[in-house]
A = this chain, B = another copy of it.
Amino acid sequence: MNCRNLGEFCENEAKGVVQSLVLDSEKGELVKASGRVEKRIGKSEGKTIAALKSHSEAERRRRQRINAHLSTLRNLVPSSDKMDKAALLAEVVRQVKQLKETATHVSERFFIPLDSDEIKVELIAENAIDGTCLYRASVCCEYRTHLLSDLKQTINSLHVNLVKSEISTLGSRVKNVFLFTNLIHGGGCATIQAREIFLASVRQAFSSVLDKVSAFPEYSAYPNKRQRVSCFDSSTLLF
């Protein structure tokens, strides 16, 4: 099909004019230029043309989708006008690498929540006398309503002895750190296996708090519009 576009072709088709035919040298007969699949010009021709048309339209939509994202990226990248697609993408790669590296440096140096969700639970110290273990759990995620009370409930349900809790925010993201022991009425985690099971259950408990927001979108912090600034006042700090 060597027509400039299918719309044009179909117009002519309606007038009974076939504009482009191909000489197949193997068979020595004329077939439609696109007609490698269908060997004869029959009444299925209309269907073929319709399929071809929808195909090219789908492909056009696909290109539009991709190009829309590319132009969005153009707006995000300074002075990227007059860059061709490859150069633009190269610049985006550079920027993303740079931003990620910076984020790494920031999180290495400061105790603030960043973009990636994170749950970390680890053993900090063990009391040699009574076997009491001190643990540190940190949870970094997007803020949502009831997040803090959910975390508090989680801590309560774990029946641990909360020693200290810290909270820090950046934009709409929040990071909580809890120091706790698993000992309330004597007796630590006797074995290494028992400890690992305990750590896993703590991780699981915090995970389900984070999963809540995806399961129930109404828990999202800002159903209407995402806010930029910190959303806490001291009265919210329940621990």
Docked-complex contact B25 and A23, CB < 8 angstroms: no
Output the residue of A18, A90, A171 with the most chain B CB within 10 A.
A171
Give how many A residues have a beta carbon under 8 Å from the other chain's beta carbons.
46
Stretch at the interface among A40-48, A66-74, A130-138, A194-202: A66-74
In the complex, chain A residues 52-66 whose Cβ is within 8 Å of any chain B Cβ: 62, 65-66
1/0 contact string of A170-204 vs chain B (CB within 8 Å): 11010000000000000000000000000000000
Find out whether the CB atom of A19 lies under 8 angstroms from the CB atom of B30.
no
Interface assignment of A124: CB less than 8 Å from any CB of chain B: no
Q: Is A114 an interface residue (CB 8 A)?
A: yes
- Contact present for B23 and A21 (CB under 8 Å): yes
Contact with B along A95-119 (1 / 0, CB 8 A): 1111111110110011010110000
A25 and B8 alpha carbons, distance in the complex (Å): 14
Please give the count of copies of this chain that the complex contains.
Answer: 2
Chain B min CB distance to A88 (Å): 9
Question: Is A20 in contact with B18, judged by CB distance below 8 angstroms?
Answer: no
Taken residue by residue from 131 to 151, chain A's Cβ proximity to chain B (1 for < 8 Å, 0 otherwise) reads as 000000000000000000000
Specify which chain B residues have a CB less than 8 angstroms from the CB of A85 in the assembled complex: 66
Contact B96 A76 (CB under 8 A): yes
B33 touches A105 (CB 8 A): no
- Indicate whether A95 sits within 8 Å of B96 (C-beta atoms), given known contacts A22-B2, A85-B66, A102-B115: yes
* Interface: A14 (CB within 8 A): no
**Would you call B115 and A98 a contact (CB within 8 A)?**
yes
A92 CB-CB contact with B under 8 Å: yes
Whether a CB of chain B sits under 8 angstroms from the CB of A93 is yes
- Specify the chain B residue showing the minimal Cβ separation from A4: B36
Shortest CB distance A33–B (Å): 6
Contacts of A62 in B (CB 8 A): 86
Quick check: A22 and B33 within 8 Å, CB to CB?
A: yes
Tell me the smallest distance from the CB of A27 to a CB of chain B, in Å.
12
Are B102 and A73 in contact (CB-based, < 8 A)?
no
Q: How far is the CB of A1 from chain B (nearest CB, A)?
A: 9
B residues less than 8 Å from A19 (CB atoms) = 25
Chain B, residue nearest A96 (CB): B76
Residues of B within 8 A of A73 (CB): 89, 92-93, 96
In the complex, A26→B21 CA distance in Å? 12
